[in-house]
Amino acid sequence: MNLGSYVCGAWHQGRQQGVAMRDASTGEVIAHASSSGLDFAAVLKHAREVGGPALRALTFHERAGALKSLAKRLSELKQEFYTLSYRTGATKSDSLIDIDGGIGTLFVFAGKGSRELPNARVYVDGDVEGLSKGGTFVGQHVYVSREGAAVHINAFNFPVWGMLEKLAPTLLAGMPAIVKPATATAYLTEAVVRRIIESKILPEGALQLVCGSIGDLFDHLHCQDSVSFTGSAHTAASLRVHPTIIRHAVPFIAETDSLNSSILAPDAVPGTQEFDLFIKEVVREMTVKAGQKCTAIRKALVPAAVVEHVVGALQAALQKIIVGDPRAEGVRMGPLVSQEQRNDVLARVAELRREAELVTGTPVHFEVSGADASRGAFVPPMLLLSRDPGTARAVHEVEAFGPVATLMAYQDTADTIALARRGGGSLAASVFCADDALAGRIVLGLAPYHGRIIVVNGACAKESTGHGSPLAPLIHGGPGRAGGGEELGGIRGVLHYMQRSALQGSPDSITASSGRWVRGSAVRDPGRHPFRIPFNDLELGDTLRSGEREVTIEDIERFAALSGDNFYAHMSEPEAARNPLFGGRVAHGYFLISAAAGLFVDPDYGPVLGNYGIDSLRFVKPVKPGDKIKVRLTCMAKSLRAEKGWGEVAWDTEITNQNQETVASYQVLTMVSIYAVPDSQGVH
Ligand code: NAP
């Protein structure tokens, strides 16, 4: 039976029987995948005309809320996914990375979306750029949702995480997704998508699934669409030059093969904690997901002097790995995903063996637990040794996408950096080193060629997430061979699915389009103290202009006594006079912002619940005894937390002196109730 594709609001079975998907351990056929008969132009249209508008009607916070609900719902169904995941060859701990890791990514983006994005549809990028002397012409970058479909083409190795790590930032950006899983493991992705669609948490059209080929979909792409691809460099190279991608400059984000290095630093000699950590990590990276991880260690670089020690330690550890059906007791490493992958890996190992010696793992004779070795896609962990990697080629270019790594001897730090860079651009590197200064030099040598670099030593090993784990808050991707793309990285990953636009115009025009009040825009006297106005009634530009206060020498001395800050510039006239910035005693900057609060705060009980910080504080000009200060406080940005009964309000705040010069500038961050008179339950 064919798997279903969910497109245009319904499940479709392909017209013809498609490609067979098999259980990785037993070879039993699970299902077929075919997208024959699908109208791909209609699929794109559905995303653009149904899913896109529905998502864009939601704010960032509402989309984040949907991601959270989805993560909770999928968490309840994990057991069902684990059971199916065994069929891909994954052990339980492999499934935790794929399934729990994918759900965890949804949670992270839900959290970041509601904390770091406004409850709005436009994301304001950076500060206003002054473009004119008189201040009537300014610039502001903003991001808006792209109005097309995000096409996600995923690799077979992480059928759940691979989908969710792209889906979370895409949906948060307000873009609908069309997911095409790799055929070999599409049955697991399909099961998850069925549950997502059943949950009705996402608006219709936000997620479509194509099992099987994507047919002529690329021919129908246009400039608002995007493609995010994970898979081999070879496939990426052919897809990114598709005429439609080129003609319409369709963004094409690629995450591809990578020959990732792990470096044992010269200080990490046998007997040190870092040496043991390195051995453990190489074994883990070779065997987790049977080495089918784009970030796995392929090149283990070790000082020439300790090569034999490393070979011995790795042989001993790898011999303990029990290979077999992941459902069988005690199995540590499952099979590869399919017989095709097994053949591919064995062919790649044969290529590597022309330059490197196989020191562990014989591809023909090894034990398989709980399964018939001839039916499943089993291979043993295989370790190669390259004694002269500087003159070798294949060990830097050939990726065997399985439990395969090559040990390489290096001479010195410059040599190890050069060897790691021969990967031609990689996703990840790790450095096992207790000497932070040395690690720092290695890291900076690796950084131009690597998307992520992890330094492991005794100080962080216990809590380290390891060489091979991409993390939602950090970017995943790498230059050159790794595809040149970038995903995840917190909100950075969301912005790939949005369009940045530079707005220019008068401050009022910029305020109107960005949804954030900018200096120079009209200010408004709301007729009452802005602290008496509930959240929903506050308007951008609502302003309070305070009365004046003279700053005296007594103020400075009393503030010094109260705070304990007796810095000479405040307390000693002769020393302050010698200071080239001040030329005499000045008020504490912190006194100024305290005095400003005294000038603008409305003391009575009301909708302002609290102040949770200050942003962008700058002391612009010193204030001397006798100066007179006053404050302007303007409602600059609002973000509603509907479920909490309050919203965040940022107030643009400027303290000026008697000459109308700005002496301090900052944003006061407050929580403002939606009720004029809130009570302890958060209601009026
Ligand atoms: P692949 O053969 O390149 O396939 C990747 C995806 O592209 C699959 O969904 C595949 O669908 C699809 N595809 C293949 N030909 C296509 C075409 N002509 N038009 C549209 N889609 C096409 O790679 P794979 O074997 O699945 O994955 C293994 C490789 O992926 C390894 O080399 C690994 O390094 C790399 N990888 C990289 C990352 C990363 O984040 N950088 C992550 C995981 C894997 P079908 O399955 O239906 O052919």
- In a domain, residue 513? The reply is no
Residue nearest to atom 13 of ligand 1 (CA): 235
pLDDT at 650 exceeding the cut of 60: yes
CA 673 from chain centre, in angstroms, equals 32
pLDDT digits (tens, 9 = 90+) for 305-348: 999 999 999 999 999 999 999 999 999 999 999 999 999 999 99
Do 150 and 278 fall into the same domain? no
Q: How many whole angstroms from 191 Cα to the centroid of ligand 1?
A: 20
Q: How many whole angstroms from 230 Cα to the centroid of ligand 1?
A: 6
Task: Give the residue numbers spanning the domain of 602.
Answer: 523-673
- In a domain, residue 474? The reply is no
Q: Beta 628-641 vs 608-619: how paired, if at all?
A: unpaired
Do 369 and 239 fall into the same domain? no
Do 234 and 86 fall into the same domain? yes
Mutate to test the pocket of ligand 1, among 94, 97, 153, 338 (most ligand atoms within 8 A of CB): 153
pLDDT digits (tens, 9 = 90+) for 353-383: 999 999 999 888 899 999 999 999 999 999 9
Q: What is the mean pLDDT of residues 521-533?
A: 96
Do 307 and 359 fall into the same domain? yes
Give, as one character, the DSSP assignment of residue 321: P
Q: How many whole angstroms from 234 Cα to the centroid of ligand 1?
A: 9
Do 151 and 187 fall into the same domain? yes
The pTM of the full predicted model, rounded to 2 decimals, is: 0.94
CA 602 from chain centre, in angstroms, equals 41
pLDDT value at residue 683: 53
pLDDT value at residue 364: 82
Do 205 and 291 fall into the same domain? no
For residue 602, the domain's CATH number is 3.10.129.10
- In a domain, residue 508? The reply is no
Residue nearest to atom 26 of ligand 1 (CA): 155
Q: How many domains does the chain have?
A: 3
Q: How many whole angstroms from 172 Cα to the centroid of ligand 1?
A: 25
Contact criterion met (CB below 8 Å) for 306 and 276:
no
For residue 200, the domain's CATH number is 3.40.605.10
Q: Beta 450-456 vs 382-386: how paired, if at all?
A: unpaired
Do 575 and 627 fall into the same domain? yes
Do 215 and 331 fall into the same domain? no
Give the mean pLDDT of the chain. 96
pLDDT at 171 exceeding the cut of 90: yes
Strand, coil or helix: what is 140? strand
pLDDT at 681 exceeding the cut of 80: no
- In a domain, residue 451? The reply is yes
For the chain, what percent of residues have pLDDT higher than 90?
96
Q: How many whole angstroms from 326 Cα to the centroid of ligand 1?
A: 24
- In a domain, residue 679? The reply is no
Do 226 and 265 fall into the same domain? no
Do 317 and 440 fall into the same domain? yes
- In a domain, residue 111? The reply is yes
pLDDT value at residue 362: 87
For residue 377, the domain's CATH number is 3.40.309.10
Question: For residue 487, which atom of ligand 1 is closest to its CA?
Answer: 40
- In a domain, residue 290? The reply is yes
Do 171 and 232 fall into the same domain? yes
pLDDT at 65 exceeding the cut of 70: yes
- In a domain, residue 441? The reply is yes
Do 249 and 275 fall into the same domain? no
Final residue of a domain: which of 454, 469, 484? Answer: 469
Backbone phi and psi for residue 479, each to the nearest 5 degrees, phi listed first: -80, 170
Residues designated catalytic: 255, 294
pLDDT at 291 exceeding the cut of 60: yes
Pocket residues for ligand 1 (CB within 6 Å)?
Answer: 153-157, 180, 182-184, 214, 230-232, 235, 239, 255-258, 294, 399, 401, 427, 483
Structural tokens at position 325: 């059906």
Beta-carbon-side half-sphere exposure of residue 327 (alpha carbons within 13 Å):
14
Residue nearest to atom 16 of ligand 1 (CA): 235
Mutate to test the pocket of ligand 1, among 160, 230, 240, 348 (most ligand atoms within 8 A of CB): 230
Strand, coil or helix: what is 371? coil
